[in-house]
Structure formats: structure tokens, C-alpha cells
Chain A
Amino acid sequence: MKATIIRRGMATLTGMLASVFLMVGTASASEVTISHYFSGPFTSVMQDVFNDYNAATGFTMKDSPVGHEDFKTDILVRGASDSLPDVFSYWAGARVQFVVDSGDLSPIDDMWNRDGLDNVVAKAIADSATLYNGQRYLVPMQFHYAGMFFNKKVMADAGVMEMPTDWDGFLALCENLKGQGITPIALGSMNRWPAQFWFDYLILNTAGPDVRAGLMDGSVAYDAPEIADAMSIWKDLVDAGYFAENANAQTWTDASDKVAKGEAAMTLMGTWITGYWNGLGLEPDVDYDFFPFPTINADAPVSVVGPIDGLVISANVQNMEGAEAFLSFFVSDLDTQVNWTNAVGAVSANVNVDPSVYNALINRVISTVGDAENFAFNYDLATPPPVAEVGLSMFQEFMENPDDYEGILARAQESAQAAF
């Protein structure tokens, strides 16, 4: 009797396990799996895209959103265990290059040509963000631009009507604000990456894009005089007390909140801040505005910095047809591009999107980017990931000990050299 019960129990257990394995093993042929880092308020916007795509094509998107910072590790773990989803979002530049070199992505040249994406994606973005080792791998979801976003009321109350275009003007603005008891700059470097825009712009505006490109590929040392000069300018700003206290204890949203509440005047951040502030009820051009990073060296080409988020297809894709269709749909469908870019506070890479769908501030961003002589990926997307880790920690250490910037650069060079 006892043995019969055990046998029945075992049989039931075996049946349950078999059912689970069968359920796992038989994903629907129309299903396209996707993982992305647009969590929080952006999850529902992405879900709307999925719903529209499902309705338009008959495929079914099955998503697993992961938090922005956790995604960087999560996708690596999934790659290491050959369990990458069909499609995933990723940052164009060195990070995609790393995954391409690892053989974990499928090229999309056939789909690109078949769907005529040359006539859809802006050429400058297509050239810089989608081609790796001579093949197409990525479709841009949108692009962002990092600029100096400020609280209009704080500036107006301080009597500032004209925003600075050169470095002397910027220093005068900071001194003026500080003199009136207003913290000029908020920075949230707790997650490290927000500090990179300062590093990027200071190098691009002093040493220029070639030196910066050399730093990114290892041909220029971190302790080179040009890099030390840029850091000394940053140090002067910290020493002058222009940055809000405890930058390393604040996230980028904390810093954005400081500006939104008028506790600081401005923050150097990407255009996603507009999506965040709009969500808080702030209005572009009424409550906030932006100005481009001021010119330091007039001889250096005008550069803008920003990331391009994209969609890629994994090498172990189960539903290539559905995956390719989704990438094409995301970048080509005008309603999707308009809704998506407006929600995340970004600009579409689709040349067919009518600029009038954007507010005046985003249109000025488009002009600023269009007028620039050089579009550079921000630091952690421009240099290989192992090196980026070195630099990101370096920025945090610098914010704590700016006086030791030469020592910090020397140690960074030692670590970067090993990482390269």
C-alpha cells in the first residue's frame, strides 16, 4: 500500500515535471522574446508598442524588462548561458561592438536592404551606430543629446536672461549664482555614469575629438597632459564650490529633482531628463530649458555627446522573421516613433518623422545636434566595457578627491592599460 502511494506520488511528480518542461520547450511559433532596460514609467509605453506591433503583424512580443543598471549584468549572464532573448535593447557603440565580437548577434543587412532602411534612418546615425565590422547589427530606437538643462525660474530670479556660450561666460554665471546663494550645478554621480558627460565635454572642448578618440581606443594615455588639463578645469569648478554637496550620494534623478525644486540651477544631463521632468508636471520652455555645453577652445570642433539606444537580434534567435519584423516596425512606424520618442524625451532617428510633432525645446536639440561638427558617444559607450568600468570609478573618485586628480589619472592609466 505504502509503495503504491509512493509510486503514485512519483508518477504524479514526474508528470508535473514533464508538463513544465513541455511548456518551457514549446514556445509559440509566433512569439518573439525581448528583453529591454526601459523599466518604471517606460514599461507601459513599450507595452503600447508591443500591442501595436502584435496587432499589425500577428506576432506576439513576450517581454522581460530589467532595471537600467541591472540590465548590464543580466544580459551578460544570459549571453554566457546561451539564453539570450530573440531581441534585446542595447547601447550603440563599444558595447554592441563587444557583443558582435563575441559572436552573439545576428547581422540584419538583408532586412535592412529589403525594408529600405537607408531611406528611414538618418545617415549620420546609420553610419555611426548600426555598422560593426562592416555589417549592420542594430536598429536605432532613438538618440539622446546631453546638454546643460536648467530651471528657468531660478535663472530668471537670479537676473540671468542670456545663457553663456563660452567658458568665461559660464564661470561668470556660476559665480553670479553662487554669490546669490544658489547652488549652480547639481550632479548625481552615485551610479557613476552621470559624471561622464563632464569628462566627455571637457576633453572634446579642450583637446578635441581626435585626442578623445585616442583615449577611447587606448592610443592616448589617461595621464597624458591633455587629459590632465581637462581634469584641472573640472577640479577648478569643484574647488570653487559650484557643484552641489555629496554628488556621490545622489542619483541622476536626485540631481534632477534638485534643479526641478530650485535647489540647484542646472545639471548636465541627457534629453531623457525632459521625459522625467515632464512626468513630474514640469513644462519645457516654461519651467526648464537647456543650453549647449559652453565653448572652451574656439579651435576645437563643435561636439555634442549622447547615447543611441538600439535593438539587436541575438545569434541564437528562435524567431528570426518576427524579430526582424519588430526591428523594422520599431524604427519605421511613424506613430510608434513619435509616441516612443516623446515619452522617453528623445529624438527619432527616422528622417520621415515630422519635427513639428516635437515641442520647441526638442526641436532646438535637433538643431544643436544638426549644427555640431562631431557627434560622440558618451564615455561608457565609446570605450570597451572593461575600460569604461575603470573610468566610471575614476569620475567618482575625482568628485571625492579632486585635488588628487593627477594621481587618480595615473592609477586609471595603469588599470586601463591592463583592461585594454
Chain B
Amino acid sequence: MERSALYWRVVLLAAPVTVFAVLVIWPLFSSFFYSFTNWNGFNPEYDFVGLENFAKIGSDRLFIGAIINTTIWMVAAILLPTLLGLALALLLDSKVPGGPIFKTLFYLPICLSAVVVGQIWIWIYQADWGLLNTVIRAVSGSSFNYAWLAKPDTSLGSVIVAWSWQQTGLSMVIFLAGLTSIPNDLLEVCEIEGASTWQRIRIVLIPLLTPATVVVVALSVINSLKGFDILYIMTGGGPFHSSDTLAMHMYNESFKKYLMGYGSAISVVLFLIALTIIRIYFRNLKKVDEIYG
């Protein structure tokens, strides 16, 4: 019986492990392998170039730009949905009229695919007839037709706004769940002691929302690292690389310039960055676990 159970465990685990190995482990090691070659993606023949691709990274000004953009993207993609989600959760938890409707409305964008969200915001940002410029024209009375996604100064920021709009609903729901687990006694004590709303939030709610915050930040980090699709749809890294992140730069070098070896080297660097961030996160998660059980 015991052996039979073990047999079925192995059999049933074989399928997902095989899929994981083929779709994740194999490409991961392939990337490592190709990062030491000059493969162009088409030609079956290639040469080993040692660390040449990694050396090239240091002098690639587009890579430097992509590192800066990735940092901006990650910080903004973590901070904005977290802060906005917390603000909305606190607001909706205070029993505002129509709360359930607002909760549904704010959560709705997370149900949409990045392609749909990207397309909606492309229309909003459209220079001639987009919603944003139409509103600005109506308010200011000017002939404002700024091309938000086509200008290097605003392209990345515009995508971050769209991304935050989609992700905020998820943070809000997690914070709302966290708020329901806070004992009412504590909130009543605050009221009896005459604490102001800000004091209640700062001293009681935010510290007790730490476990929820950890989950929100973790999801934001993971989602921001995966946040390639919306950038691809909205700007494709443009105009002229002004919104390139590392993932986008890797894609462009591999699939547009046909420099698969160099693209693989960038993906290895991206992997190491992600690994470092995740290690830091897990170390801190352990500390939070020790404090909050």
C-alpha cells in the first residue's frame, strides 16, 4: 500500500515536473549556454566567445539606459500600487456609500489582460483625440496635443501609470482582507482614547497590516519583474529606447538585432538581479514570520 502510494506520487508528479523542466529549467540553462556564444538565432553554427558578451554589456549605452529604466520601473511599480491600494482600502473600509460597487470597479482592471489594458491606455494617451488631451483641452481651452507615449520624457511614466491602474485593485483587496483581521477592540480603544484618524492609521492599522504589506510588495516585485507585455504593447521600448527596460532590451537585441548570444547574456544579468531581489525578500519574509507568526 505504502509502495503503491509512493508510485502514484511519482507518476502524478512526473507530468508537472517534466513540464517545469522543459519550459523553465531547460530554457534557463540554454540562456546560460548561449550567453557564451555569438549565436544569431537562425544559424545552427556559432562560436564560443567566452565572456565577450558580458564585457560588451559594460560599454552598451542602451544597457545602461535600460538599467536606469528598470530601476525606475521597479520602484514605481512597487510603490504606486502599494500606496494607492492602501489608501483605497482604508477609504473603502470606512464604510463609504457604495463601497461594494467601488471595490468591484477598482478590482476590475486586474481581470483584464495586459494587452487590453495597454490598448485602453493607448487610446487615453492618443495625442489628437485621446481622453487625457481632450480633458486638458476642455479645461485649459488650449490646443494641447502632447504625444505622451511618443515623447522620451513621458513614455515610461505613462506606462507606469497604466500599470499602476491595473495593479492597484489587487493591492486594495489584499489590504482589505488584512483590515478585516484587525481586532475591533483595538479600534474601539483608539476611539475611546480620542486618537485622531491619522494616529489610528499610523500607530495601529499600518503596523498591523505588515503581513498584508509583505504579500502586496512580494506580488508587486514579482509582477514588475514580469512586466514586459504592457511595455511591449504600449511603447515597445520606444521612442528610440527611452522606455527600454532590461527585459525589453534583451528582447530587442535577441529578436530584432538577431544577437541571440548577447541577448542571452542580458537575460543572465536580469536573472541574477531577480535572484538577488528575491533572496533579500525571502530573508525579510523570515523576519516578518518570526514577529507575526
Name A's B-contacting residues (CB within 8 A): 3, 6, 10, 72-73, 76-77, 79-80, 98-99, 101-104, 190, 192, 245-246, 248-249, 385-386, 389, 393-394, 396-397, 400, 411, 415, 418-419
Contact = CB atoms under 8 A, between A and B. Distances in A.
Contacts of B56: 418
A86 to B, nearest CB: 17
B38 to A, nearest CB: 12
Contacts of B149: 249
6 contacts: A98-B258, A103-B45, A246-B150, A249-B127, A393-B241, A397-B239
A10 B42 contact: no
Contacts of B256: 72-73, 385, 389
A385 B150 contact: no
Given A6-B8, A73-B255, A393 B238 contact: yes
A249 B147 contact: yes
B150 A103 contact: no
A386 B43 CA distance: 15
A390 to B, nearest CB: 8
A397 B4 contact: no
Contact of B147 (A6, A102, A246): A246
A282 B172 CA distance: 51
B111 to A, nearest CB: 25
Interface in B40-73: 40-45, 56, 61-62
Given A3-B4, A385-B258, A400-B152, A248 B41 contact: no
Nearest to A99: B42
Nearest to B257: A386
B8 A397 contact: no
A272 to B, nearest CB: 22
A299 B20 CA distance: 64
A10 B14 CA distance: 12
Contacts of B62: 415
B43 A103 contact: yes
Given A76-B258, A249-B147, 7 more contacts: A3-B4, A103-B45, A248-B151, A248-B238, A249-B127, A389-B256, A393-B240
Chain B: interface size category: 20 to 34
B259 interface: yes
Given A6-B8, A72-B256, A73-B255, A103 B44 contact: yes
A80 B42 contact: yes
A72 B254 CA distance: 12
Contacts of A192: 238
A10 B11 contact: yes
B224 interface: no
Nearest to A105: B42
A10 B11 CA distance: 10
A396 B155 CA distance: 14
Instruction: Determine the main DSSP class of B at the interface with A.
Output: loop
A102 B240 contact: no
Contact of A386 (B128, B145, B152, B259): B259
A249 B150 contact: yes
Interface in B253-278: 255-260
Interface in B211-259: 238-241, 252, 255-259
A397 B62 CA distance: 14
A169 B246 CA distance: 47
B42 A104 contact: yes
B240 A385 contact: no
A190 B257 contact: no
B255 A77 contact: yes
B152 A389 contact: no
Contacts of A76: 41-42, 255, 258
A400 B258 contact: no
Nearest to A397: B240
A208 to B, nearest CB: 28
Contacts of A248: 147, 150-151, 238-239
A3 B256 CA distance: 52
B238 A102 contact: no
Nearest to A3: B4
Nearest to B255: A73
Given A10-B11, A73-B255, A389-B256, A396 B43 contact: no
A26 to B, nearest CB: 23
A415 B63 CA distance: 12
Contacts of A98: 40, 42, 258
Interface string B1-32: 00010001001000000000000000000000
Contact of B257 (A10, A102, A389): A389
A3 B259 CA distance: 52
B11 A190 contact: no
Contacts of B145: 245-246
A192 B150 CA distance: 11
B145 to A, nearest CB: 7
Nearest to A247: B150
Interface string B149-161: 1111000000000
Nearest to A72: B256
A318 to B, nearest CB: 18
A108 B8 CA distance: 54
A246 B133 CA distance: 14
Contacts of A393: 238, 240-241
Contacts of B260: 80
B43 A101 contact: yes
Contacts of B239: 248, 396-397, 400
Contact of B42 (A79, A397, A411): A79
